[in-house]
Structure 1
Amino acid sequence: MTNPLTKGLPPIHPGEILREDVLPALGRPKTEIARLLGISRQTLYDILNEQQPITAQMALRIGKMCGNGPNIWLNMQKRYDLRIAEAEIGDKLDAIPVLQAA
């Protein structure tokens, strides 16, 4: 079910949250963040540019570094992925009936 307050707004990739809110608040260079996370700079830039998803392993790394745990990052990615998928196949979903157990 779509939240009426966010209806019509594009989904937010967790990389956008990292790029716009988290990293500026941390005040560290991206190169250092990548090193602290144990990932390449390119991997970090791909996430920040919304070209790569937050995987379970990445959620563990970011959640540890930020102190907020992995679930928030995985949930953001899941919501993003579901909104994108729904936009792509929404009409086909409407044609699928809901079946009830006998």
Structure 2
Amino acid sequence: MNETDVVRALGALAHPLRLRVFRALVVNGQAGLTPGVMSEALEIPNTTLSFHLKELTSAGLVTQERSSRHLVYRAAYEQMNGLLGYLTDNCCQGAECAVDSTSSCQC
């Protein structure tokens, strides 16, 4: 992942609604969600949701697939992992990070 991609992804996530949408897709996994389900669950109007999904898709953090008559959105885990890897690799200007490397995420 290059710097331009990182900036685009971070910019997309820097909005509270987009972060909520992205988190919902990550939590839901590979099954994905349709806009109707997301709109209802997150209490977001369809037009607002559509705008934010477009931004997340443009940043490469979300994929869209047509399934019959419905669109299914999924978190793009490869892109998400690339973003996390970039941030991890480039933190602390090459010095050892202040975070204990033996600790693990309990996500």
Structure with max Cα Rg: 1
TM exceeding 0.5: no
How high is the TM-score relative to the length of structure 2?
0.30
